[in-house]
Copies of this chain bind each other. A is one copy, B any other.
Amino acid sequence: MLKKCLENVRKTVPLVHNITNYVTVNDVANVLLACGGSPIMSDEAEDVEDITSVCGGLNINIGTLHKTSIEGMFRAGKKANELGHPVLLDPVGAGASALRTNTALDLMRELDLAVIRGNISEIKTLALGSGTTKGVDADVADAVTEEDLDEAVEFVKRFAKETGSIIAVTGAIDLVSDGEKCYVIRNGRPEMGKITGTGCQLSGMMTAYVTANPDDRLEAAAAAVCVMGLAGENGWSRMQEGDGNATYRNRIIDAIYNMTGEDLEKGADYEIR
């Protein structure tokens, strides 16, 4: 299944429209190319509807949110919804500023989001802010660990059910749920946190995966998480004495570029709950 998700990306070369931050945008583009997709970036409100119309999916990332690009997010999102394209939201920094939190919540309210992908703090912020989840603070910690895994899985499932979006929480352990099933994924390495934008890269790639696998969005989202984590492991295995986070960044993208469906099936480390 994961194998087929990967191969569908390489076969159909999904064109992904990205409205994303200027910090990690180049890596997002190269990761999209590495995984077999194709990137376009555009955030100008007058440009986004045309651009999203020639694409297959839309990736919205609020990492360097500007008031001028917020309008573009809504216009692109509505057009993508109209066309039936999957829309992914990466609520970078939700919880760290009112503008980010409120914009993310507004996007959730006004758009039909296929996927919301963030770290546990960002997702908790959205769950609290949207009022769909009670007692989040009480039952979900700020890191998903083996100890509190049951509660975290429960929280992610519940939030997915309530929003109607696939929820992907990434960290040391990754959780991906559509409200019914929850993938618990243990690929990856802690050193990935020393590279800027591995989360943004994953969001771009996940949009390509979901776009290329319209009938299996949950599996596709989970497959993208496994690809990223496994690339982190494979890239690390090629590190040499004296290498650091700059080289590791390149090694991970290279590993995505070279990954086959067989590699993914063999290396993916997950269970379904």
Contact = CB atoms under 8 A, between A and B. Distances in A.
A249 B30 contact: yes
A196 interface: yes
A97 B47 contact: yes
A246 B29 CA distance: 11
What is the count of identical protomers in the complex?
A: 3
A195 B22 CA distance: 18
Given A26-B27, A46-B99, A258 B238 contact: no
A252 to B, nearest CB: 8
Contacts of A54: 96
Contact of A25 (B22, B51, B258): B22
Contact of A29 (B29, B65, B93, B197): B197
Given A63-B41, A253-B244, A196 B29 contact: yes
Greatest chain B CB density within 10 A among A21, A64, A249 is at: A64
A34 interface: yes
Given A44-B66, A54-B96, 5 more contacts: A26-B197, A34-B244, A42-B93, A44-B64, A51-B96
10 contacts: A21-B41, A22-B25, A22-B41, A30-B196, A33-B194, A42-B65, A47-B99, A244-B257, A245-B254, A250-B250
